[in-house]
Structure 1
Amino acid sequence: MRKAPILLIGGSGTVGRRTAQSLREANPDQPLLIGGRDLARAETVAAELGHAEAVAIDLAAADLGVGERPLAAIALFFADDTLTALRYALSRGVPYMSISSGIHEVGPELATQMYQPKAAPVVFGAEWLVGATTIPILHAAKDLARVDSINIAGLIDEQDFGGPATLRDIERLMYTKPAVLTVQGGAYVWLGQGEGAGQFHAIDGTPVEAESYSPYDLLTLSVETGADNIRFLLAAGETSSRRRGDPLSTEIIYEITGDGQNGSRQSFRQAVFHPRGQMPLTALGTAMVLERLAGLSGGEPVSAGLYFPSQLIDHDAYMTRFAAIGGEILPLPASAPAA
């Protein structure tokens, strides 16, 4: 029986293309549909991948221009203000994920899914770099009896914004946000424009000025760990690798404070590092979610409902594949973030 393909809407863009490559490397026989508004560009990507087909996407059409063909899963790599792709997935019962919407934008997607709660699994994929922050932190904190605080700082290289769609998403989420969510004293607190700015130290110790940011990681980590204080700072600038003359990279620094199993006070600081920037990590997380949704990674089928990436990805498997593509977890001197 022929496998149903995974549809990547925006699959010829920077992130979509990398995700398609990651899927192909791990799943040589899985058919892919590379969807885009520029059919010629999508055809080029499909030809490079093999076992893939290009399709012209029309967000003004209820069927997206795809028709009634069976699909294993759908991924959307840019903001779709019309929610056509989500409605199409729910109407067909096809698992769906998007990686663009922020916490403050989730209402329309949430309402659309709530009216068809049993139609299909829907993944809000915009954890920072699609699990590259949340999963390593949860992996590092799993041996603690209690987590009190988590301070996170993401540093994206100013030369690493990817394609036009990615740049538009980052600009929208970073610079048009109405408020920023933090966890303070066990309460969810929204900070207004300009509030919560701070400073952290990059991997090489350089001080970096940053803005408060609230990806879905804030919610996932709050529920998973019960930490009373969680903060996420984000900055765009020169990464530590580029300062020393190497190519750009991506850095996610986190400091966790809590109690060990023996009751002793513990605090440690580490960094998620990838020497080729953000795209390999975003592609890895997205590919692993799609593999889970499409039944390629084993386990029980994902039931209809709402999910974050870190709920669907096996954490040990993620850390193994993270290392295999060149990612590193670097121990850092204690005491860092935040002014």
Structure 2
Amino acid sequence: MTSSSVVLVGGSGVVGAQVASLLARRRPDLKLVIAGRRLDAAQAAAQRYGAEAMAMDVNAPALPDAHKGALIVGLVNDAHDRLLRLALAQGHAYLDVTRWTERLKQALLTTAAYGPPRAPVVLSSAWMAGAASLAARDAARAVAEVERVGIDILFAMADQAGPNSTAYMDRLSEPFHTMEGGKWVKRGGFLDGRVADFGAAGRHRVYRFDTPDQANLPAIVGAAQVDARIGFDDGKATALLHVLVRSGVWRLLSRPMFNSARQALLYNPGPGAAHRIRIAVEGKDAAGRPCGKTVQLADPLGQAHLTALGAVLQIEHLLGADAPPAGVYLGEALLDPEHACRQLREEGVEISAV
């Protein structure tokens, strides 16, 4: 696509503001529009980045004709696909980085019901806007036949996090499916723990966690098994949450009447801390011998910054000369993984082989 206009819906939020900041620095030629439910917050963010501000409620979105052909970027939860439907109906290119697996499948159904889209629709909601899966794909280049991918995530309690991250984490106890031995297996959230080595950050216990990577990577890299687990850098917090989930107390707390109490446990954003991911790819080499590659990915600026970087790589690709034609895409399958990892490193993300 050739548009130089980008509408960041949720552009004044924790992740959205970092997307705007990165784009203002990396692509000063772009016309940025910060759209949000609160016009005052959008205006404040727009003033910082030399952008235009616009009020937009994701549950009743509207885009003036002046922004015809703009790339719409969803940085807030589009729970009822209304922003997606707007993009489909008006023929806008669309990028979403906010969906957990269930809502990703929902978006695919909504898109299919509309028929062939008139512009690219990119769903890049794997962990950190696809950054983890892109690093896994890059590591998989060293393995001729990929059998298993393991993604272990260390979430820093002092890291910045927005309400959308809390909504994602709020589903910790929800069951989900992963691929094992080429078959879909139902899993329980925050169960089946193991200890993962995060290098300089130490060893931490991590538990199963629902991310779209587990649904997408089996097809993308051909792995028969993909597992993702998460833990906190505070071992006591991880242990407490596991006990609450295992005992069934967390499910009781998931009732609407406990929303505020539950979110108070999950939403305690700090000033910022490094976000770390350990990715292990196992399989066979060209001669059929066992082999593998493990990498550690760390963003010293935290998970919001890493998510923003993942989103910016997708935006730049959609605006570039090699942008994909109209169609539906998974962001983590769309980009060249070697180039993406190089771009991440240039922005300060540490990716090292173990």
The TM tier, using the shorter chain, reads 0.7 to 0.9
TM-aligned CA distance change 1:3 to 1:80, over 3 Å: closer
CA distance in 2, matches of 1:272, 1:264: 26
2:49 matched to 1:37? Answer: no
After superposition, give the CA deviation of every residue in 1:95-138 in whole Å (9 maximum; x if it has no partner).
Answer: 11222221123343222211223223222221100122111111
CA distance in 2, matches of 1:143, 1:269: 10
1:96 maps to a residue whose letter is Y
Matched residue, 2:229 = 233
Matched residue, 2:75 = 77
Matched residue, 2:95 = 97
Q: Secondary structure at the match of 1:115?
A: helix
1:305 maps to a residue whose letter is G
Residue 153 (structure 1) shift: 0.2
CA distance in 1, matches of 2:303, 2:223: 27
Matched residue, 1:171 = 169
Alignment TM-score, normalising by the size of structure 1: 0.85
Matched residue, 1:124 = 123
CA RMSD between the two structures: 2.2
Q: Which stretches in structure 2 are left out of the alignment for 5+ residues?
A: 236-271
TM-aligned CA distance change 1:172 to 1:99, over 3 Å: farther
2:296 matched to 1:271? Answer: yes
Of the candidates 219, 222, 228, which is equivalent to residue 218 of structure 2? 222
**Conserved 8 A contact 1:152-1:232:** yes
1:288 maps to a residue whose letter is L
Q: Secondary structure at the match of 1:133?
A: helix
CA distance in 2, matches of 1:248, 1:238: 13
**Conserved 8 A contact 2:189-2:209:** no
Matched residue, 1:17 = 17
Of the candidates 314, 325, 329, which is equivalent to residue 303 of structure 1? 325
Q: Which stretches in structure 1 are left out of the alignment for 5+ residues?
A: 240-246, 333-339
CA distance in 1, matches of 2:201, 2:109: 44
Residue 201 (structure 1) shift: 2.4
2:116 maps to a residue whose letter is K
Of the candidates 331, 339, 346, which is equivalent to residue 317 of structure 1? 339
Matched residue, 1:184 = 180
Residue 78 (structure 1) shift: 1.7
Q: Secondary structure at the match of 1:174?
A: coil
**Conserved 8 A contact 1:285-1:309:** no
**Conserved 8 A contact 1:185-1:228:** yes
Residue 194 (structure 1) shift: 5.5
TM-aligned CA distance change 1:172 to 1:141, over 3 Å: same
Matched residue, 1:249 = 274
Alignment TM-score, normalising by the size of structure 2: 0.82
CA distance in 2, matches of 1:150, 1:87: 34
Residue 195 (structure 1) shift: 4.3
- Structure with the bigger percentage of helix: 2
After superposition, give the CA deviation of every residue in 1:161-194 in whole Å (9 maximum; x if it has no partner).
Answer: 422x23433333434x2x1322211212121355
Residue 224 (structure 1) shift: 2.2
**Conserved 8 A contact 2:276-2:296:** yes
Q: Secondary structure at the match of 2:149?
A: strand
After superposition, give the CA deviation of every residue in 1:67-112 in whole Å (9 maximum; x if it has no partner).
Answer: 2231421111121223221111001111112222211233432222
CA distance in 2, matches of 1:110, 1:27: 30
Residue 23 (structure 1) shift: 1.6
Q: Secondary structure at the match of 1:129?
A: coil
Q: How many residues align?
A: 315
CA distance in 2, matches of 1:306, 1:173: 26
CA distance in 2, matches of 1:101, 1:318: 21
1:323 maps to a residue whose letter is R
CA distance in 1, matches of 2:190, 2:309: 33
1:317 maps to a residue whose letter is H
CA distance in 1, matches of 2:103, 2:3: 34
Q: Secondary structure at the match of 1:78?
A: coil
Matched residue, 2:243 = none
After superposition, give the CA deviation of every residue in 1:276-304 in whole Å (9 maximum; x if it has no partner).
Answer: 111222111101112222x2x221x4233
State the identity as a percent: 26
TM-aligned CA distance change 1:3 to 1:95, over 3 Å: closer
Q: Secondary structure at the match of 1:284?
A: helix
CA distance in 2, matches of 1:152, 1:15: 22
TM-aligned CA distance change 1:210 to 1:34, over 3 Å: same
Matched residue, 2:264 = none
Q: Secondary structure at the match of 1:248?
A: coil
Q: After alignment, is 65-74 or 249-258 more displaced?
A: 65-74
CA distance in 2, matches of 1:277, 1:32: 24
